[in-house]
Amino acid sequence: MHELVIRGGTVVDGTGAPARTADVAVDRGVIVELGRVETRGRREIDADGLLVTPGFVDMHTHFDGQATWDPHLTPSCWHGVTTAVLGNCGVGFAPASPSRHEWLIGLMEGVEDIPGSALSEGMAFDWESFPEYLDALERMPRALDIGTHVPHGAVRAYVMGERGARNEASTAEDIEGMAAIVAEGLRAGALGFSTSRTMGHRGIDGEPATRARSPPRSGRAPRWSRRASTTV
């Protein structure tokens, strides 16, 4: 007997093959049979008239705050998403020095129109470094898998403080500090590094969001800039 059999659904497998009516048998979380499944299941789902598909991976979300308090990541869980990627557009909440919490919330509210009041109420900010943020995410039981990038805005604010918020030019020492944070985040399990190149991205104060700038005209490009599109 199978653990689960989904019967009579319209299977769209993501390969480009035509949709077809089929049963799907699952044991220990793995699809073991597809087609006409004769064996019964301990649990059976009648999927007649419904689509049966692989879980969707949403590559661009801004659940960075919500992921710390909502195990279901609504409304994505209602629409077939089983993996969500956070930390996009260079906005996020780690690393986060205690003095920059409200600024990071204002940046997310301005760029992504997520109510700052909800973020302020929902997030405990029981982390400071990016690895500590990953630990906080791991402590939350959840219905969806998640992964996250290291966000440029948070990194710049952590290293440069108000200078970073005003988009002042970074020094060589600033760049070394930011590179170290990104490297630490990647070692801890970040998917990559994200930034913004869109002039429409502005914080709630109207300041342009932190963005990656062109490397200096002479000398090597800063090490962090070469990580801008890194995915591991």
Residue-wise pLDDT for 173-188, tens only, equals 999 999 999 999 999 9
* Residue 172 near residue 84 (C-beta atoms within 8 A): no
Residue 135 pLDDT: 97
pLDDT category of residue 70 using cuts at 50, 70 and 90? very high
Residue 225 pLDDT: 32
DSSP 152-178: HHHHHHHHHTHHHHTTPPPPHHHHHHH
Q: Taken in order 199, 203, 206, 211, is the CA torsion positive or negative?
A: negative
Residue 226 pLDDT: 30
Residue-wise pLDDT for 71-111, tens only, equals 999 999 999 899 999 999 999 999 999 999 999 999 999 99
Residue ranges of domains in the chain, CATH in brackets: 2-52 (2.30.40.10), 56-227 (3.20.20.140)
Determine the Cα–Cα distance for residues 10 and 19; give it in Å rounded to an integer: 6
Alpha-carbon distances of 189 from 120, 137, 147, 149, rounded to whole Å: 26, 12, 8, 9
Mean pLDDT of the chain: 88
> Is 80 exceeded by the pLDDT of residue 222?
no
